[in-house]
Amino acid sequence: MLSRVAAGFPSPAQDYIERRLDLNEHLIRRPSATFFVRVTGESMTGAAILDGDLLIVDRSIEPRSGKIIIASLAGELTVKRLLIENETVTLIPENPSFSPIHVAEPDDFEIWGVVTAVIRETP
């Protein structure tokens, strides 16, 4: 079911029902290149990525400066904003309580994909 919901006065629901909703159609462009990860921690709260969120990650998207990525750094996965300046790679957290990570050893660093969506359960 794909429908719009009024934030004001209620409307008859039947007027808005279109068809069965498949979230894969809307959130996953390249299924063979897409994976999911669950967020642990609070380093990306400023980007509305919270502890417990589910991220959709696409490995086929070119990781450019400014994109939020999933990367392996020294064998640990992390989600951060990618900053590339003069061939220097920095992983930027979106929480002022955390420090940027300057990638010094390219051998211990690999970008796994670009975050394309955040899924969060409501409390």
Residue type, 86: N
Of the residues 3, 32, 80, 99, only one is catalytic, namely 80
Of the residues 43, 65, 67, 99, only one is catalytic, namely 43
- Residue 97 annotated to the active site: no
Structure tokens that stand for 23 in this block: 């979230």
Residues 58 and 47: their CA atoms lie apart, in Å, by 18
Residues 94 and 81: their CA atoms lie apart, in Å, by 8
As to burial, measured by CB atoms within 10 angstroms (0-12 exposed, 13-18 middle, 19+ buried), residue 47 is middle
Global pTM value: 0.79
pLDDT in tens, 2-49: 445 555 555 555 555 666 766 777 677 888 889 999 999 999 999 999
Residues 102 and 90: their CA atoms lie apart, in Å, by 4
pLDDT in tens, 101-115: 999 877 789 999 999
pLDDT confidence of residue 32: 83
- Residue 43 annotated to the active site: yes
pLDDT in tens, 60-79: 999 999 999 999 998 899 99
